[in-house]
Amino acid sequence: MRLKIAVLAGDGIGPEVTREATNILRAVAELGGHDFTFVEGLIGGVAITENGTPLPSATMDAALDSDAVLLGAVGDNKFNSLTPDKRPEAGLLQIRQALGGYANLRPSIAYTALAASSPLRPEVIENADILFVRELLGGLYFGEPRWWNKETNEAINTMRYTRDEVVRVARIAFELASKRRKKVTSVDKANVLEVSQLWRATVTEIAKDYPDVTLEHQLVDSMAMHIMNIPRNFDVVLTENLFGDILSDEAGVITGSLGMLPSATIGGQVNLYEPVHGSAPDIAGTGKANPLGAILTAAMVLRHSAGLEQDARAVEQAVHKVLDAGYRTADIARGDKNAQLVSTLEMGKHVHQALAESIDRRQSMHAV
Ligand code: IPM
Ligand code: MN
């Protein structure tokens, strides 16, 4: 298996956690005899500092020329006074648009070992396993017109969707649900917004092609509450860009930390992989960052871009194993007396070790 991966580590903790993720990919390549190559590029605040733009054309070219893009995080308080189109985040939105992936998959699961890290009671989060399918190229993030008129003190953003944009992301949600617990919850605000009415009508229509999958609709406000009340009720949650941004952060509470959440964006020319967490400038360089979100993102690279499902699972199981063994970065150490506090680097090493053991075991089983 050959895979060319563009690595855009970005800002803050991005480089630290991405290093652990690429180490894991290197280990999988070595243990399985695969040929993975890595090409680095600048994005976000570091790119503004070095090149004066959050997405230099060299980065864009490298990304388009790769089989998968692995991104760390973007965002730097230094640029807070800039308008949205000049900020580090603009680089991320531009690359999302250029790569063309419209379905952002954000799994959020409850880890038994981390039950104490979640502020929710263990019996509430037990068996929670939600896969958010967030539409990533439409809605308020990209709708025109958009402006802020400082003379009239008026500003506008536009929430816009076409039927086709809803159809393509809905199909991905139904396909994924049919391989899981066969339920799609579509989230909108159809009691107020025309865009949501189009969304709901379109999703309802597409559901007819997937008779084995149950569809339910939820309004985004009550959904925000249901996710906290009975997370195990949800399987695939399909929603538009901004609602998905908000709800997927909320669902971090189920897992115990935003630092645990991976994501993959599929459907475009090149898949884009990024942990859900941001650049966390307050802890950058302190060794406190949790690399597990980035490592689980690497597992998604193996699953969705390399077709190495077994290896993807091996990485996920290695993460389970280190958590069961009690290793914790600071963000997931809460309320856990037996936790063994480790640094970003140490956490990466423990996952690597658990992974090597499980791949070794698999290979020796095949050998006999
Ligand atoms: C995310 C982030 C981004 C988003 C920001 C950094 C532009 O919050 O990936 O969830 O809003 O999509
Ligand atoms: Mn977000």
> Hey, where are the domains in the chain?
1-107+257-368, 119-255
Confidence (pLDDT) at 366:
77
What whole-number distance in Å separates Cα of residue 33 and Cα of residue 35? 7
Confidence (pLDDT) at 275:
97
pLDDT above 90 (res 265): yes
For residue 281, give every residue at least 6 positions away whose Cβ sits within 8 Å of its Cβ, in sequence order, or none.
11, 12, 75, 76, 77
Tens of pLDDT, residue by residue over 306-325, are 999 999 999 999 999 999 99
Q: Are the C-beta atoms of 292 and 349 separated by less than 8 Å?
A: no
Distances in Å between the Cα of 82 and the Cα atoms of 75, 273, 344 are 12, 26, 31
What whole-number distance in Å separates Cα of residue 143 and Cα of residue 24? 38
Correct CATH for 119-255 of 3.40.50.1000, 3.10.20.340, 3.40.718.10, 3.40.50.1220: 3.40.718.10
Give me the mean pLDDT over the 134-163 stretch.
Answer: 98
For residue 275, give every residue at least 6 positions away whose Cβ sits within 8 Å of its Cβ, in sequence order, or none.
17, 72, 73, 259, 261, 262, 263, 293, 294, 296, 297
Q: Comparing 108-112, 159-163, 361-365, which segment has the lowest mean pLDDT?
A: 361-365
Confidence (pLDDT) at 336:
79
Question: Which of 250, 322, 245, 262 has the alpha carbon at shortest distance from 17?
Answer: 262
Question: What is the residue with the minimal CA distance to atom 4 of ligand 1?
Answer: 245
Question: Which of 220, 241, 275 has the alpha carbon at shortest distance from 107?
Answer: 275
> How many whole angstroms from 249 Cα to the centroid of ligand 2?
6
HEC string of 287-301? CCCCCHHHHHHHHHH
Q: Are the C-beta atoms of 29 and 36 separated by less than 8 Å?
A: yes
What whole-number distance in Å separates Cα of residue 367 and Cα of residue 349? 27
3-state secondary structure of 24: helix
Which tokens is 17 given?
């956690």
The residue whose CB lies within 8 Å of the most ligand 1 atoms, and thus the one to mutate among 13, 43, 89, is 89
Tens of pLDDT, residue by residue over 19-38, are 999 999 999 999 999 999 99
Give me the mean pLDDT over the 276-287 stretch.
Answer: 97
CATH fold, domain 1-107+257-368, is Isopropylmalate Dehydrogenase (3.40.718)
Tens of pLDDT, residue by residue over 177-217, are 999 999 999 999 999 999 999 999 999 999 999 999 999 99
Q: Are the C-beta atoms of 5 and 36 separated by less than 8 Å?
A: yes
> How many whole angstroms from 37 Cα to the centroid of ligand 2?
29
Tens of pLDDT, residue by residue over 282-311, are 999 999 999 999 999 999 999 999 999 999
Name the one residue in this structure whose structure tokens are 């809803």: 166
Confidence (pLDDT) at 363:
82
Closest approach atom of ligand 1 to CA 74: 6
User: Which one-letter DSSP state was computed for residue 36?
Assistant: E
Let me know if the fold of 1-107+257-368 is the same as that of 119-255. Answer: yes
> How many whole angstroms from 105 Cα to the centroid of ligand 2?
13
Q: What percent of the chain has pLDDT over 90?
A: 95
pLDDT above 90 (res 333): yes
Instruction: Give the residue numbers marked as catalytic.
Output: 141, 189, 221, 245, 249
pLDDT above 80 (res 367): no
Helical H segments across the chain, by residue range: 14-32, 45-51, 57-64, 88-99, 122-125, 163-178, 194-207, 220-229, 241-250, 252-255, 292-304, 309-324, 344-367
Burial (CB count within 10 angstroms: exposed 0-12, middle 13-18, buried 19+), residue 195:
buried
Q: Is residue 245 in contact with ligand 1, taking CB distance under 6 Å?
A: yes
Position 159 confidence tier, pLDDT thresholds 50, 70, 90: very high
Confidence (pLDDT) at 368:
62
Distances in Å between the Cα of 213 and the Cα atoms of 24, 46, 209, 330 are 35, 44, 9, 40
pLDDT above 90 (res 359): no
Report yes or no on whether pTM surpasses 0.95.
yes
